Chain A
Amino acid sequence: AQTVTQSQPEMSVQEAETVTLSCTYDTSESDYYLFWYKQPPSRQMILVIRQEAYKQQNATENRFSVNFQKAAKSFSLKISDSQLGDAAMYFCAYRSALMIKAAGNKLTFGGGTRVLVKP
């Protein structure tokens, strides 16, 4: 079974600065997808960024970028130019690329990292 570990329960960052969230995972599969989800206080979880394991190029979405190290099974998220609206819980998640209907496309989540942004 796959596991996802986020070793930082909480991170604090000054507004306009950069913060990096760590995520490691364990899998025996060679093809899979990785995601970072954001859950703002009292608001719905939304997707921040995603990475396909077979792509070597790191994904980027505006101020959010990832450092995907497949051999090390590491998938960190960098938030640049942090804004007050970035304050949230961030979850790293893993999904197998196998297209088996009865397996769904279920996600395995890490424990989450709370990001605090100081003005």
Chain B
Amino acid sequence: DVKVTQSSRYLVKRTGEKVFLECVQDMDHENMFWYRQDPGLGLRLIYFSYDVKMKEKGDIPEGYSVSREKKERFSLILESASTNQTSMYLCASGVLVGYNEQFFGPGTRLTVL
């Protein structure tokens, strides 16, 4: 059974804190993604990675960075959290070839106070 896991379901942080969100997949997928989900806006891509140590900006990368040191792990970093980064964060993984689906993690609901 395919699996994408995220380090936390709920997280509360203070403004200015450095925040790490981690994602692990066990399907040997080349591609991994971080999305942000907000009501009425759907999912918006923050960053993605198509290989170890490779990363590409998505549609809303400002205020975020990522790290992919191992194929199965993709981390999202908020260098200095702000209240407008309060949101649901979803990690996903998938393969490049064909029209294969992306597999999603359970999400991390982050609140920045």
Q: What residues make up the interface of A, taking CB atoms closer than 8 Å to B?
A: 4, 6, 9, 33, 35, 37, 43-47, 50, 52, 91, 95, 97, 99, 101-112
Contacts and interface: CB of A to CB of B under 8 A. Distances in A.
A94 B4 CA distance: 21
B99 A91 contact: no
Interface of B: 4, 31, 33, 35, 40-45, 48-51, 54, 56, 58, 90, 92, 94-97, 99-102, 104-107
B99 A95 contact: yes
B41 A105 contact: no
Contact of B99 (A45, A97, A112): A97
Contacts of B94: 105
B99 A52 contact: yes
B36 to A, nearest CB: 11
Those 6 A-B pairs whose CB atoms lie nearest each other, nearest first: A109-B42, A45-B104, A33-B99, A47-B101, A109-B43, A111-B42
